[in-house]
């Protein structure tokens, strides 16, 4: 009987940890996506300095998120995001708004893919 209770307890612990992991990924990707959207809006409105400040904040947020996400996410997905985030500020400083917006879109798509790959669905399990 002790084995059954031990198995149930382990299953419960694994389920809770999995749920926490999913919640962390969702919170981090959602926060980063919102910040990218703010930077895009500022750039589209011609507020380049504000877009640079938001992009710097995005870079700080990413460095904090990277620690948590690197535990759960494939590194090739994360490398793409790092490259996009690092190139955002130079594009803004050189008035290359289209390239900046491309980086924002690319980063948003990558973050969405990360979230979609972590959602416990039949497609992701199989």
Q: What average pLDDT does the structure give for the chain?
A: 89
d(CA 56, CA 58): 5
d(CA 41, CA 55): 12
pTM of structure: 0.84
Give just the sign of the alpha carbon dihedral 5, 10, 14, 17.
positive
What are the sequence ranges of the domains in the chain? 21-119
CB 26 within 8 A of CB 115: yes
Given a cut of 70, is residue 126 above it in pLDDT? no
Mean of pLDDT values over 73-90: 87
- Tokens matching residue 123: 């497609």
Helical segments of 45-126, H only: 48-72, 75-93, 97-118, 122-125
The secondary structure of residue 119, as a DSSP letter, is: S
CATH class for the region spanning 21-119: mainly alpha
């Amino acid at each position: 009987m002790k084995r059954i209770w031990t198995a149930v307890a382990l299953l419960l612990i694994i389920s809770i940890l999995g749920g926490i992991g999913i919640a962390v990924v969702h919170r981090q990707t959602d926060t980063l996506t919102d910040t990218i959207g703010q930077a895009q809006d500022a750039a589209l409105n011609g507020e380049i300095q504000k877009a640079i400040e938001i992009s710097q904040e995005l870079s700080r947020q990413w460095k904090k998120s990277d620690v948590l996400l690197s535990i759960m996410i494939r590194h090739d997905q994360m490398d793409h995001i790092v490259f996009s985030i690092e190139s955002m500020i130079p594009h803004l400083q050189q008035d290359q708004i289209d390239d900046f917006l491309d980086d924002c879109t690319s980063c948003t798509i990558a973050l969405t893919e990360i979230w979609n790959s972590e959602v416990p669905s039949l497609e992701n399990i199989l």
